[in-house]
Structure 1
Amino acid sequence: MAQPEDSEEARPWREGDGARPTVWTWPLTDPPALWVRRNGGWRLAAVAARQDWSDSRTAYQVLIDTDGTTSKSHRTFWWPHEGLRFAHRSAAEPTTEAGRGGEPPRPPRRVKLA
């Protein structure tokens, strides 16, 4: 049986792509995970975010060790693809609300004291 191709990286969103993608995040303490095919092998990657693009495409941003050195970086991959498989889900529901998922909260407004 032939091995699937390496997963396909998604390029960043650009103004000409239409509306900004809707970004879904999970708590950093309980992210879902994907198996990602890179450099001919499968690597476990924590999902940082899911992007739902206006043209109906979906991309997953993951934190992954791409070369086996244990140095991790964020990469974004198109879904569905033979080079991506779900490893496990999160017990938490994803959210688009800033500060409620894996996205940092917005800083408080600075108020000038008299």
Structure 2
Amino acid sequence: MTNEVPEPERAAPWSAGDGPEPVVWTWPKNDRPALRVWSAGQWRYAPVLARQNWADGSVRYQVEVDLLGDTRVMVCLYQWPQPGLRTAHGSSVKPSRGVDEERQGDMPRPRPRRS
């Protein structure tokens, strides 16, 4: 009875009043894990951008997800676990702490020109 699944509640981003900064883990763009997010009556595929381990022991996932199925992708933060979140698949690589641009597949930053 999937109609009884509640939509997951979004989490607030970290702020200084929340205590120590969370430890953030990321994966390369070509091998991210993913969740399924229950939204607008369907399970939506949501690649994970980052996992946040908070000092209070809670875990939050930052995901990209098309919540309405209309191709508008949003970045959302969800505390794990919730009934409206499921694992879609894992990654074949271990995550790294912080953002490593080369592993993420972003364009490298230009080097400053010498005068």
Distance 1:53 1:109, change over 3 A: farther
Cα drift, residue 98 of structure 1: 3.2
2:98, 2:36 → 1: CA distance? 26
Checking the alignment, whether the CA contact within 8 Å between 2:24 and 2:98 is kept in structure 1 is no
1:34, 1:5 → 2: CA distance? 16
Checking the alignment, whether the CA contact within 8 Å between 2:23 and 2:52 is kept in structure 1 is yes
Which residue is 1:44 aligned to?
Answer: 45
1:44, 1:35 → 2: CA distance? 5
- 5+ residue gaps, structure 1: none
Which residue is 1:16 aligned to?
Answer: 17
- Superposition RMSD in Å: 2.3
Cα drift, residue 110 of structure 1: 4.9
Cα drift, residue 107 of structure 1: 5.0
Q: What TM-score comes out, normalization by structure 1 length? A: 0.85
Cα drift, residue 41 of structure 1: 1.9
Aligned length: 113
Give, as a single letter, the amino acid of the residue that structure 2 aligns with 1:29: N
Distance 1:95 1:44, change over 3 A: same
Whichever structure has more helix as a proportion of its residues is 2
Q: What TM-score comes out, normalization by structure 2 length? A: 0.85
SS of alignment partner, residue 85 of structure 1: strand
1:53, 1:104 → 2: CA distance? 26
How much identity, in percent, do the aligned residues show?
41
Cα drift, residue 102 of structure 1: 3.6
1:92 paired with 2:86, answer: no
Cα drift, residue 104 of structure 1: 5.7
Which residue is 2:8 aligned to?
Answer: 7
1:56 paired with 2:76, answer: no
2:23, 2:108 → 1: CA distance? 18
- 5+ residue gaps, structure 2: none
Give, as a single letter, the amino acid of the residue that structure 2 aligns with 1:5: P
SS of alignment partner, residue 74 of structure 1: strand
Runs of 4+ in 1 over 6 A off after TM superposition: none
